[in-house]
Amino acid sequence: MHIIIDGYNLLGITGKAAGRSETGREDLLRILGAYRHRKGHAITVVFDGWQAGLPIEGREHRAGVQVIYSKRGEKADQVIERLAAEYRTECAVVTSDHEVIRAAQAQGALIMRAAEFAQKLQASSPSERSMPYKELAVDDDPPTRGRTEKRGNPRKLPKALRRRSRQLKRF
C-alpha cells in the first residue's frame, strides 16, 4: 500500500501549520517516518510549491518518506491526482480536499480524510499504545425512516462499511 498525503492539509489538521513553517514540516516528517517504520507502508508527502517554488518539481527522501514539492505554477492537488492515477488501486490518498477526493476515487484509490489519518497517527504512537484501555466512542442509533420491520442482521455493518473497515485495518 502506497500512502499519498496532502502535506499542508495534514499539517492544518494537526495544528502544526503555523505559517507553513519548516519546523512544522520537519515534525510531520518525523512522525510519518516513525509511522512508516511501524507499519511498513510506502509514504509520499506532497507540499505546495506553486507560488514560491522552484521551476522544477523537487523530490527528496527524509526518514524513509518521499517528499515532493510541486513546481512553480502547479498545485500539490495536481501532483496528488497524478500520483493517484499512477498507483490507482494500490494507493491510499490522505486529504480533505473534495476535488482531490473525487479524482482519486475515480482512479480506485482508497480515501482517508486528513483528520481520520491524524487520529490513526496519534493512536499508533508508542505513548498511546502503552495505555491499557481505550475510550470507545458510542454513537447514537440513526433515526429510522419508512418501514418499521427490520431486515438483515442488526449486528452486522452494511457491506460498504465492512469493506471500508477491512481497507482501513491495513493502516
Each domain of the chain, given as residue ranges in start order, spans: 2-128+155-169
- Domain 2-128+155-169 sits in CATH at 3.40.50
Write the DSSP symbol of residue 115: H
Which tens digit of pLDDT belongs to each residue from 124-168?
A: 665 544 434 344 444 455 555 666 677 778 888 888 888 888 877
pLDDT band at 5 (very low <50, low <70, confident <90, very high): very high
Q: Environment class of residue 120 by beta-carbon count within 10 Å: exposed (0-12), middle (13-18) or buried (19+)?
A: middle
Phi, psi of 101 (to 5 degrees): -60, -45
Q: Which residues contact 156 (CB under 8 A, 6 or more apart)?
A: 162
Q: Quick one: pLDDT at residue 129?
A: 44
Q: Quick one: pLDDT at residue 2?
A: 92
